[in-house]
Chain A
Amino acid sequence: MNYRWNWSILLQEPYTEWLWSGLQWTVAISLVSWAVALSVGLGVGVVRSLPSGILRVIAGVYIDVFRNIPPLVQLFLWYFVLPEIVPETIGLWIKRDLPYPEFVTAVVAIGLFAGSRVAEQVRAGIEAVGNHLMPAALATGLRPMQAFRLVVVPLGLRAIVGPLTSEFLVTVKLSSLSLTIGVLELTAQSRHIENYTFQGLEAFTVATIGYLVIGLCVTGLMRLIDDRVGGAALRRAGS
């Protein structure tokens, strides 16, 4: 391998700044997308575990559609297609007046895709707990909706802190898709540096470390949360 190492390139302007700003965009997209994913996913997941009803069907369709179209294609639908198919005034507004259009589009697309995955986890968690505890809850005289609301949902949500951690990490990785519509997040910036300097090894290494560090932080944080609520759930289920 014939390669001239030059780690100092990373400390030169403007490359340090590029990477730093890329990292900030990655974190920003991940966090806001996750907020979207979590709120949509929790709602849809709970609705999806209801015994019946039109809402349950709609939730099922949402999960099926959003999970079965590649996220990059979804991003393009939001970015290229949506402004064309909405009424003209709205389309124009999206194209001209929407602040940070790429960022907003990326967050919506990634958030709704991740939301469908979160919804599946929520449903699975609620189902697992429900199968166990629903009979017991009903036996104490709770009505089905009460049992669902007071016992099954709260415990089901505690049970899925672990799976949700992986979903958040998936969301962080998905944030890189936004480079295709021009958001200069971490991966995009490392690619830029490679294009400008040909020092790809250094640039990609920094980006790699960036993702690893984010992953470690998230895993550590979620483990703390899981210990709190997961432990509580276990104690309650055990007693």
Chain B
Amino acid sequence: MSDFDWGVIVRSWSFLAEGMALSALLVAVATIGGLVIGFGLALMRLSSNRLIASPAAAYVTVMRSLPLVLVLFWFYFLVPLAIGRPIGSLASALIAFVMFEAAFYCEIIRAGINNVRQGQTEAGLATGLRRSQVMRHIVMPQALKAMTPLVLNQIIIVFQDTSLVYVVALHDFLTTASIVAARDGRPTEMYTLVAVVYLIICLSSTKALELYRKGRAG
């Protein structure tokens, strides 16, 4: 057992910070893109037209059945093929994350919308509002409120998910740390650091979210 050398963290600090910045970028893009596409998918799934609802349902089911690692490989392979020229692994990973998380956000949004009682829609329709107006003024505001904690929770999960870009060699926080670990022969220090940093960020976010939930309920 070698002696620990925590100085390796200080020496590689800026490299690790760049990794963390990439992780943050992935979270931001996956969340914003995922919410937008997820909202579209949710509207499709809620359609009474089966030709619209079924493809969205199939997409969501398949995405949710696959490991993110496989999805990353899929897009790593498919995106350049579809575009017809090589494209950086970052772009592929961003697209993969957006398309993967969209399936999860879709289900959160759909549940939020379904949670609004049918009677609310009926009441809106009964006053002469059109379906789109009922959606915008009555259903969505209530659905948004119900889904906010779930979306925030999903963002924490996405943050954890981003560590998987390791498999396509993108330099996120975990990957930069693993590069340092291998280069300097300091796996213990580096992986402990990664675990502690993730733990602090995710645990404090989770606890803050719990407080927010309780505050809203009470």
Contact = CB atoms under 8 A, between A and B. Distances in A.
Direct A–B contact in the complex, CB atoms closer than 8 angstroms:
yes
Interface of A: 1-3, 64-65, 67-74, 76-77, 80-81, 84-85, 87-88, 91, 169, 172-177, 179-180, 187, 190-191, 194, 200-201, 204, 207-208, 211-212, 215
A77 B190 CA distance: 10
B166 A201 contact: no
Which of B78, B84, B191 has the most chain A CB atoms closer than 10 A to its own CB? Answer: B191
B65 interface: yes
A4 B54 CA distance: 30
Interface string B177-200: 010010000011001101100110
A84 B2 contact: yes
Contact of B1 (A71, A88, A175): A88
A40 B198 CA distance: 23
B68 A65 contact: no
B187 A73 contact: no
B65 to A, nearest CB: 4
B66 A81 contact: no
B73 A204 contact: yes
Return the 4 tightest CB-CB contacts between A and B, nearest first.
A176-B67, A68-B202, A80-B187, A70-B160
11 contacts: A68-B203, A70-B174, A70-B198, A72-B174, A76-B178, A81-B191, A175-B67, A187-B67, A187-B70, A190-B73, A211-B65
Contacts of B198: 68-70, 73
Interface string B74-87: 10011001101000
B188 A70 contact: no
Contacts of A211: 65-67, 70
Contact of A204 (B68, B70, B161, B194): B70
A91 B187 CA distance: 14
A187 B1 contact: no
Contacts of A175: 67
Interface of B: 1-2, 62, 65-70, 73-74, 77-78, 81-82, 84, 160-161, 163-164, 166-167, 174, 178, 181, 187-188, 191-192, 194-195, 198-199, 202-203, 206
A172 B66 CA distance: 9
A2 B188 CA distance: 46
Given A84-B187, A91-B1, A72 B164 contact: yes
A59 to B, nearest CB: 16
A52 B69 CA distance: 40
Contacts of B81: 1-3, 201
Which of A64, A70, A72, A74 has the most chain B CB atoms closer than 10 A to its own CB? Answer: A70
B2 A65 contact: no
A76 B191 contact: yes
B188 A81 contact: yes
Given A81-B187, A81-B192, 19 more contacts: A64-B206, A68-B199, A68-B203, A68-B206, A70-B161, A70-B164, A76-B187, A76-B194, A77-B192, A173-B67, A175-B67, A179-B69, A179-B167, A201-B78, A204-B73, A208-B62, A211-B67, A211-B70, A212-B62
Contact of B66 (A70, A179, A208): A208
B19 to A, nearest CB: 13
B191 A191 contact: no
A69 B68 CA distance: 17
B67 A70 contact: no
Which of B62, B195, B206 has the most chain A CB atoms closer than 10 A to its own CB? Answer: B195
Contacts of B199: 65, 68-69
A166 B181 CA distance: 35
A7 to B, nearest CB: 16
A173 B103 CA distance: 15
Contacts of B77: 194, 200-201, 204
Contacts of B84: 1-2
Contacts of A72: 163-164, 166, 174
